[in-house]
Amino acid sequence: MKLSGKDLLGIKEMGTEDINLILETAESFKEVLERDIKKVPTLRGKTIVNLFYEPSTRTRTSFELAGKRMSADVINITPSVSSIVKGESLIDTVKNIESMSSDFIIIRHSAAGAPYLVSRILKGSVINAGDGSHEHPTQALLDLLTIREKMGRIEGLEIAIIGDIAHSRVARSNIYGLIKLGANVRVSGPPTMIPWGIERLGVRVFYKMEEALKDVDVIMMLRIQIERQEKGLFPTLREYAKLYCLTPERVKLAKDKVIIMHPGPINRGVEISPEVSDGPYSVILEQVTNGLAVRMAVLYLLSGEAE
Ligand code: CP
């Protein structure tokens, strides 16, 4: 089985068959990751280039490890020490990389749409590792895998996504994916952080966090981008935390077997209290573990090795 198309750019344009294929393949790669020797020859001879124009810990490391676990050659390009600082354009950069026979370019960029532009130019596969406030598809896939693993299903679950919905590529990709797989999604945050018309995506909006949390199965907290405070989206971090920080008291509003998720990096005490992020309902580090299996699955299914 293969994915339709050569690239993975966004969840919006993916069919449920492709999403489910990635989740099932990721489950089988989890078994590889539990072996003593966590390496398979699947992508031997393939070359993967990580091109991250924005900082990353989880996504970049897990793509690198995913490639290495499958015996690919993996190169990391750091813009600050590349010819990008001399003014080389994105298009010229990726064309030059592909001229060295790369098979995959994994790109994170502050401009929404950058991976789509690159995918139209390159013959090899392009994977979107986060483009502006638009999409972060592999984050949503690892979140879907974690929910399915922990809850046994996705269909019919009540899921609250809380925080800066307007600027979150994680929220957007998750909304598309969760709704395609039959979940009921609620979003909550300050009015300045909820995009106008978001209901059209099929979500319910609650400006009061307590109402959004009532009887949910899954709470997905988003990182508050502290840099946005300067743009006046919320008065102070203390005020934001008072209204939207996930505390043990607020967790009690959800179902007894709730799971708590966060894509990372977390701002402790701002959007989530340390007692909750390190507490018994948190699956935050399991999300990171699943990120490796999901990225192995995506690389494998796009590689042409999966016939
Ligand atoms: N979740 C996520 O994208 O984390 P990084 O920015 O560390 O990759």
pLDDT tens digits for 134-155? 999 999 999 999 999 999 999 9
Residue 2 banded pLDDT, cuts 50, 70, 90:
confident
Shortest-distance Cα residue to atom 4 of ligand 1: 58
Residue from 52, 59, 220, 223 whose mutation best tests the ligand 1 pocket (most atoms within 8 A of CB): 59
Calpha distance 123→102 (Å, rounded): 10
Whether 230 has a pLDDT exceeding 70, the answer reads: no
Sign of the C-alpha dihedral, residues 145, 149, 154, 158? Answer: negative
If one counts every other C-beta atom within 10 angstroms of the C-beta of residue 180, the result is 18
Q: What percent of the chain has pLDDT over 90?
A: 90
Residue 228 banded pLDDT, cuts 50, 70, 90:
low
**For 244-269, what is the mean pLDDT?**
97
Q: How far is CA 277 from CA 256, 262, 266, 284, in A?
A: 17, 8, 9, 7
Pocket of ligand 1, beta carbon within 6 A? 56-59, 130, 139, 263-265
Angle at 40 between CA 119 and CA 137, to 5 degrees: 35
**For 189-211, what is the mean pLDDT?**
96
Distance 140 CA to ligand 1 centre (A): 12
Residue 200 banded pLDDT, cuts 50, 70, 90:
very high
Shortest-distance Cα residue to atom 6 of ligand 1: 56
Calpha distance 213→250 (Å, rounded): 7
Place of tokens 């977390």: 266
3-class secondary structure, 114: helix
Distance 132 CA to ligand 1 centre (A): 13
CA atoms within 13 A on the CB side of 216: 30
Q: Listing from the earlier edge strand, what are the strands of the sheet with 104-109?
A: 73-77, 47-52, 104-109, 125-131
Shortest-distance Cα residue to atom 3 of ligand 1: 59
Tokens of 111: 């401009």
Distance 263 CA to ligand 1 centre (A): 7
Residue 17 banded pLDDT, cuts 50, 70, 90:
very high
Q: Which atom of ligand 1 is nearest to the CA of 129?
A: 3
Calpha distance 47→41 (Å, rounded): 13
Distance 307 CA to ligand 1 centre (A): 31
Whether 39 has a pLDDT exceeding 80, the answer reads: yes
Whether 306 has a pLDDT exceeding 80, the answer reads: no
Entry pTM: 0.96
Distance 274 CA to ligand 1 centre (A): 19
Calpha distance 129→167 (Å, rounded): 16
Calpha distance 50→104 (Å, rounded): 8
What is the per-residue pLDDT across 62-77, written as a single tens digit (0 to 9) for each?
Answer: 999 999 999 999 999 9
**For 182-204, what is the mean pLDDT?**
96
What is the per-residue pLDDT across 78-132, written as a single tens digit (0 to 9) for each?
Answer: 988 889 999 999 999 999 999 999 999 999 999 999 999 999 999 999 999 999 9
Residue 225 banded pLDDT, cuts 50, 70, 90:
confident
Mean model confidence pLDDT for the chain? 95
